[in-house]
Structure formats: structure tokens, C-alpha cells
Amino acid sequence: VGNELLIGQTLDTNSHWVAWQFNRFGWTVQRVTQLRDSLSALQHGLGEALERRPRMLVTIGGLGPTHDDMTLRGLSLAVRRPLTLNPKALDMVRKKYEKIETPAHLTFHRKKMAMLPRGSEPMANPLGTAPGVLARSSRTTIVSLPGVPKEMKAIFNASIVPILRESSGSQPVEVYLGFVGIVESALAPTLREVQSRFPGLYFKSHPRGLESGVRSLILLHIYTLRKSDPRMINRAVVFLVRRLAGLKSPS
């Protein structure tokens, strides 16, 4: 969440890091969406995501004290639960400000960070002020994290990784193969064949040289999509190499 992403000012490394965490524990990320700081964009974007009924929905950014931090307002509209002052969250916020002043002035803008959709739980933010938020809607666990990368990662590691680990299937098993001197279009029929023979594996070729050039290099990424026999990858590699050894010209 954030205009700074959509104007090309900030590169979204947060969703990349989070996607990798999900993948690491055997989860599949279906979609990443960047939304503007607009109540309507948030309400509709989050509503559409919930309609797809994922097991988990993560929002990043827009939890701070300023007028343009409106993720929880958008979430409140999408899940149809009003924002209410959460005592646990308020306590977390108060303790943060007590470090800089006694007594802490809990102004409107500071209390705002403790206004959560009814029924949600705050998650402690060890490095910043705005707590993370954990909510549920039907079968979806909703996780809202602040956008400052080190705060986002600290809350994710402390509060979300245990959930991912508990519900994880197997870790993905993967291998990368480099092919030199064969162009992607010539590799394509063989990839199609190996894909249909090994439906439990995922094959994706990444051209790294010129497709229409002599110095071609293709990086092939093979991995299992779900809990499956890791020896399948070995069998697929042997199959691929035998097939390619038999290729005489691009066919």
C-alpha cells in the first residue's frame, strides 16, 4: 500500500521478501497488488482479494499516524467491521511514547494507531510505534504490517513465521540448470514434453542471452509445487539431458 510505489519512487522490496518467506515454508502466493493511498482503492482492492478466499491476506503499509495512513479504515470497510479503540493496542502505543515523554500525550493521531477493526488482535512492533494487526474474515487470516521494512520484518518473523511453519507443507525442492548454445524456442518442445511427463514439477526457463544469437544461455528453474517426491527432480533432469543430447537442429 502506498502512492510512493505507484509513482515509481520506492521499489517494493517488501512484497518480494514476504513472497520469499511464504515460498520458503511451502505456501503459494497467488497475487501481489500495489494499491494507492485512497480509501476507495483500499476498500475495493482488499474486498476483491477476500472474495478470492485465500488462506492468508497480508497488507503492508498505511498503519501510521498521518491522514494518508488508511489501510485499517479500508480493511474495516472491506470486512464490514467498525474501527474501535483496542485496549491492548493502545497500551502498546502508550508504552512507546512513554519513552519520550511522561506522561505520554495520547493525541488523536496517536490513538489512531490503536483503532482496529472490531475482533482483531494487535501484534507488538518491537522496532516502531504502530502495532501490526491480526484479523479473520471467513476462512482468511488477515495480517496488516507497517511499511517500514525493518518493522515489517520484525513483526513478520515474530508473529507470522510461526503460523507459516505450523501450516507448512514440505519445503520446496529446487534445482537450476544452465543451457549454453541452445535457444529458448528450440528448448520449448522438450520443456512441454517434460512438463506433461512430470506434472508435479514446475519448469520455467529464463533466457539470459540472446534468443536469436549464437551466445545463448538459458537458466532453467525446476521445483516442486507441493509436497512431493524430491527424487522426481532427478528423474526429470536425466530425462531432459537425454532428450537434449538427441537434438540435432532446432525442431
Pairing of strands 217-224, 201-207: antiparallel
Provide the minimum distance between the beta carbon of 119 and its own copies in the complex, in angstroms, as a whole number: 25
The footprint of its own copies on residues 157-176 (CB under 8 A) is 172
* Among 128, 134, 142, 228, contact with its own copies (rule: CB under 8 A): 128
The footprint of its own copies on residues 185-214 (CB under 8 A) is 185-189, 191-192, 195, 202-207, 210-214
> Interhelix angle for 71-79 vs 39-51, to 10°?
50
Interaction pattern, residues 90-119, with its own copies; x per rule: CB under 8 A = ------xx-xxx---x-xxxx--x------
Q: Which is nearer to its own copies, 119 or 127 (CB)?
A: 127
* Among 55, 68, 180, 199, contact with its own copies (rule: CB under 8 A): 68
Q: d(Cα 113, Cα 52) in Å, to the nearest integer? A: 28
Amino acid in position 147: G
221 binds its own copies, rule: CB under 8 A: yes
Listed ranges 81-89, 124-132, 154-162, 230-238: which one lies at the site for its own copies (CB under 8 A): 124-132
Query: Are 76 and 49 within 8 A, CB to CB?
Result: no
Query: Are 63 and 70 within 8 A, CB to CB?
Result: no
Q: Which is nearer to its own copies, 81 or 239 (CB)?
A: 239
Q: d(Cα 94, Cα 114) in Å, to the nearest integer? A: 10
Beta-carbon neighbour count of residue 146 at 10 Å?
28
Provide the minimum distance between the beta carbon of 229 and its own copies in the complex, in angstroms, as a whole number: 20
Per the structure block, which three cell numbers stand in for 216? Answer: 545463448
48 binds its own copies, rule: CB under 8 A: yes
Q: Which residues contact 179 (CB under 8 A, 6 or more apart)?
A: 187, 217, 218, 219, 220, 244
5 binds its own copies, rule: CB under 8 A: yes
149 alpha-carbon distance from chain centroid: 13
19 binds its own copies, rule: CB under 8 A: yes
34 binds its own copies, rule: CB under 8 A: yes
Binding footprint of its own copies, residue count (CB under 8 A)? 80
| Grid-cell match 479500508, residue found | 74
